[in-house]
């Protein structure tokens, strides 16, 4: 039975799944230093699993892959996600017309491990 973080690295892209009792409950991927499609299954939201998964993936990226910074894009109406990202030290940067979302950046020295 799978529990915890699974990381699949292909070239410079990293896909990750966070399992609970063999079920993927959080997933996303990293490409060119940007976190994309970070998503918690609807049935597991607001239970701390997103925080657990994000903490593990950020630890992995900063410590094992030697990333200096991570970025992501988030819609301004997604307050729950914004609060999660800020909890880890992400800071709002600029608004991207291309993605119609705000860019958030986390530099390694600002990472707040949970």
Domain ranges (residues) in the chain: 4-110
Q: Give the single-character DSSP code of 65.
A: S
Instruction: Name the phi and psi angles at 98, rounded to 5.
Output: -60, -40
Q: What percent of the chain has pLDDT over 70?
A: 99
Average pLDDT value for residue range 5-20: 94
In this structure, which CATH number among 3.30.70.100, 3.40.630.30, 3.30.390.50, 3.30.420.10 belongs to the domain 4-110?
3.40.630.30
For 18-60, what is each residue's pLDDT tens digit?
999 999 999 999 999 999 999 999 999 999 999 999 999 999 9
pTM of the predicted structure, to 2 decimals: 0.91
CA-nearest of 67, 80, 69 to 106 is: 69
């Amino acid at each position: 039975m799978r529990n915890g973080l699974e990381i699949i690295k292909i070239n410079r892209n990293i896909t990750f799944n966070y399992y609970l009792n063999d079920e993927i409950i959080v997933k996303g991927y990293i490409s060119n230093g940007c976190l994309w499609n970070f998503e918690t299954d609807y049935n597991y939201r607001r239970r701390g699993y997103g925080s657990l998964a994000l903490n593990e993936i950020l630890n992995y990226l900063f410590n094992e892959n030697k990333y200096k910074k991570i970025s992501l894009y988030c819609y301004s109406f997604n307050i729950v996600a914004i609060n999660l990202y800020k909890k880890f030290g992400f800071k709002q940067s600029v608004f991207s017309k291309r993605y119609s979302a705000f860019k958030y950046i986390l530099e390694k020295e600002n990472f707040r491990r949970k």
